[in-house]
Amino acid sequence: MCMTIRDKYIDPFTDFGFKHIFGTEKNKHFLISFLNDILELEHKVIDISYKNLEMPKFRKTEQELSTHLDYWLYYLNNLANSRKVPKILKKDPIIEAAFEVAEFLALGKDEQFSYQQDLKARWDNQACLDFATETGEAKGEAKGEARGKKIGEKNKAIEIAKSLLDILDTKTIALKTNLTLEEVENL
């Protein structure tokens, strides 16, 4: 199976995308730069060994970017949907180079295929999660509606039974309203 990718850059939130950009020996300078911005240490990171990173939520717009860390976080959040390098990020050669490394068409055929498989898995997982959420909500609504209907029918039967108490005996009322004899007697 072959998917057609029309995006210029790979999605850094896929396993393949993040590893391709930051997880190779030849690209570790990108990760070192990113880590130095995140950690803001007195002594800068000069070398790394690869471990998992977690992306914080970041919602700044291009106009709100003010630090190198902002640049990296903006890059990660927006890379997959970008068509070109934003002007403000072109000012930084390391981030601009990270855009170049992330270009889908610059990948070899095997890398493109691996990325497509990883992206498909991400989409499939999201679709499953969305379906489970929708199904759970629908089941909850159906159960709620059924319970509400049952309670409404019971309340209606009680009202009818109350109105018949002075005309019919309790056994007949219970039979006609589907209430128990005890429920009718307690009215």
Domain termination site, one of 57, 81, 107: 107
Same domain as 144, residue 97:
no
CB 88 within 8 A of CB 65: yes
What percent of the chain lies above the pLDDT cut of 90? 26
> Between these two residues, 125 and 123, which has the higher pLDDT value?
123
pLDDT of residue 50: 56
If asked whether residues 66 and 34 sit together in one domain, one would say yes
In a domain, 136, yes or no: yes
Range of the structural domain that residue 75 is part of: 15-107
54 lies in the same domain as 96: yes
Nearest to 75 by CA among 12, 139, 128, 143: 12
pLDDT in tens, 133-162: 777 777 777 777 778 778 777 777 777 777
pTM, two decimal places: 0.49
Number of domains in the chain: 2
pLDDT band at 98 (very low <50, low <70, confident <90, very high): very high
Shared domain check, 32 and 59: yes
Q: Is the pLDDT of residue 184 over 90?
A: no
Question: What are the distances in angstroms from CA 82 to CA 48, 51, 67?
Answer: 28, 27, 20
pLDDT at residue 52, rounded to an integer: 44
Residues 101 and 127 in one domain: no
